Amino acid sequence: MTKHLPVIDALEQFLAYRFIHPIHGNFYPCAKFARFVVALSGGKDSICLLDALTQLLEPSKIQAVYVDHGLQSEAKNWSQFNQNFCHRLGVAYQSIEVTVDTHKASIEQEARIARYQAFEPLIDENSCLLTAQHLNDQAETFLLQLFRGAGSKGLSAMPYIKPFANGFHARPLLNVSQAGIERYIAERQLDYIEDPSNQDVNIRRNYLRHQVMPVLKEQWDNLDRILANAADLQAVNESLLFEVAKDDLARAKDPVYGDKSLLIANLLTLSKARLNNLLRYWLDLNGLKMPNRKLLDEIAEQFLFAATDANPLIEYQDFQLRRYRNNLYLVAQESLVPISKDRQWVWLLQDDFKINEQVAICLAEVLFLYPELKGQQVEVRLRQGGEKCTLPNRAHRISVKKYLQEKGVPPWLREQTLLVWHQGQVIFIQEKKL
């Protein structure tokens, strides 16, 4: 084994590193993962990572995966190079071809998305994806995020370990400098692939690496470490902001609609900074990209300080932000699409009522109110307006519209309300959920 090299030290520290595992509990050591999937490009960094890992673990615990993006004419040769290298190490090897949309603004970003999508099916709860980003990469990521105007989350750059797919994704060389990797490569006399795209300064990361960083290092020779430390500090800040936002969301979310709706009265008790922090966390939790300051200001102005009878609407990505009464709602555009082209169905009360293989009305809920109807035939219709209903807990008939208003159902959900009819009367109302 090649001892006392930064790369080996970093991997030993990684394998001893303990973290919170959702299944196995606190202080779970990384060494206990049943399988490590190494993202192998064939470049200097990933060759170093894979070779060093085989010195510390049994090859049977390691799988190397090469992703062919279809962007380089030499890709097939690179795959063969990687396969030969893995054969010498006794490590299982897999090559995966992906398709990258070259018409998008950032081919690099599209390639990254396709690459990680290819890794996802390989990572279960007992597996960890390993990628070979190092200290210099972390410094570059920090600057790229800084120039984008990112906040604490973006400036945290790349995390050491994080949940990924059904398992985890770790970067064990994140505290190793490029010089440390080159020293390992030289010591082990390893061959590797030189990707010509790494010299293309039209790619912003390459521009930073080749044009900007050398100039800055003339004044700050320890620049990579300085910037990586700044990213670590931002990660601590982001962790604190996350904890505050999590607590604020617990107090602000609607007890009925949960994470899809916030109580405006509770939002108004927060400072502007704390409100913006909560909104960022809330949108991220629901799968949306980080909003800019302009959008956050618009949300505050149009939703929090509007009249209670106002119906403001902001479209953002695949969602709509809406206000109804005293709540702020996040509404998926797809939920506004009619649940079916049909508007009327026959339902035999023996099983749940389904639309497109999804349970739309639970049989038990209807039979709880009308046990005598078990096995009988009823009709299900989409609400059209003007209907009245007779419900077991009410002495008089009431319009469906008034019932939905009393229940606080937002207007955009009322059109998709399902009504159960029996003998010409509405006997059950199934509200559409967010």
Query: What domains sit in the chain, N to C, each tagged with a CATH number?
Result: 6-216 (3.40.50.620), 244-336 (1.20.59.20), 344-430 (no CATH)
Q: What is the pTM of this model?
A: 0.79
**Alpha carbon distance 100, 246 (integer Å):** 36
Which residues in the chain show pLDDT less than 70?
1-3, 24-25, 105, 337-342, 432-434
Provide the pLDDT for residue 397. 83
What confidence score (pLDDT) does residue 27 get? 82
**Alpha helices, DSSP H, located in 169-302:** 178-188, 204-207, 213-216, 223-252, 264-267, 272-285, 293-299
User: What is the pLDDT at residue 384?
Assistant: 85
The pLDDT value given to residue 177: 96
Whole-number pLDDT of residue 196: 85
Name the average pLDDT for the chain: 90
Q: Give the pLDDT confidence of 55-69 residue by residue, as tens digits.
A: 999 999 999 999 998
| Cβ–Cβ < 8 Å for 409, 417 | yes
Are 157 and 231 within 8 A, CB to CB?
yes
Position 281 scores a pLDDT of 94
Interatomic CA distance for residues 293 and 95, integer angstroms: 42
Predicted local confidence at residue 42, as pLDDT: 95
